[in-house]
Amino acid sequence: MKSKYLIVAVIIVLILVLGYLGRHKIRRMISGTPAQPASQVTTNTQAPTATSESTSSESAMSKNEVQIKNFAFSPASITVKVGESVTWTNQDSVGHSATADDNSFDTGVFSQGKSGSFTFSKAGTYTYHCSVHPNMKATVVVQ
Ligand SMILES: [Cu+2]
């Protein structure tokens, strides 16, 4: 009687083990196929990392920031490279602009929290002012 149970038990265990191994193989085969799209997903996640890198290089370019606060440009003099842009951000509750003295550029008046920018394609020293408050003066040096 006991040996019968043993044999039955062994058979059940064998079936379970074989079934498990079989499932495992099937799982491997199944997971083996999505493993390739999964690696594609990883390359896809690498792609946004590359874009975020380009975004960081863009933010590196937008480092040329001038804050307008208390009716003054800060820094009063900023040096950039040819092809780079300068962004002015208004922190005052009144509108300001960044207007070149020789009118080579003009951001127009922008309100609090807003910003204006200009890309400098020619080397030179650009003195500018605020069109609303001509006493606000500053300089952009383009090298
Ligand atoms: Cu102003």
Query: pLDDT of 59-100, one tens digit each?
Result: 444 589 999 999 999 999 999 999 999 999 999 999 999 999
Compute the distance between CA of residue 67 and CA of residue 112 in angstroms, rounded to an integer.
11
Compute the distance between CA of residue 53 and CA of residue 16 in angstroms, rounded to an integer.
51
User: How many angstroms is it from 119 CA to the middle of ligand 1?
Assistant: 20
> Spelled out in words, what is the top-level CATH class assigned to the domain 65-142?
mainly beta
Compute the distance between CA of residue 117 and CA of residue 113 in angstroms, rounded to an integer.
13
User: How many angstroms is it from 98 CA to the middle of ligand 1?
Assistant: 8
Which tens digits make up the pLDDT trace of 9-32? 555 554 555 566 566 554 555 454
User: How many angstroms is it from 121 CA to the middle of ligand 1?
Assistant: 25
User: How many angstroms is it from 106 CA to the middle of ligand 1?
Assistant: 13
Cα dihedral 50→55→56→59 (10° resolution): 170
User: How many angstroms is it from 56 CA to the middle of ligand 1?
Assistant: 30
Burial label for 54, CB within 10 Å (0-12, 13-18, 19+), is exposed
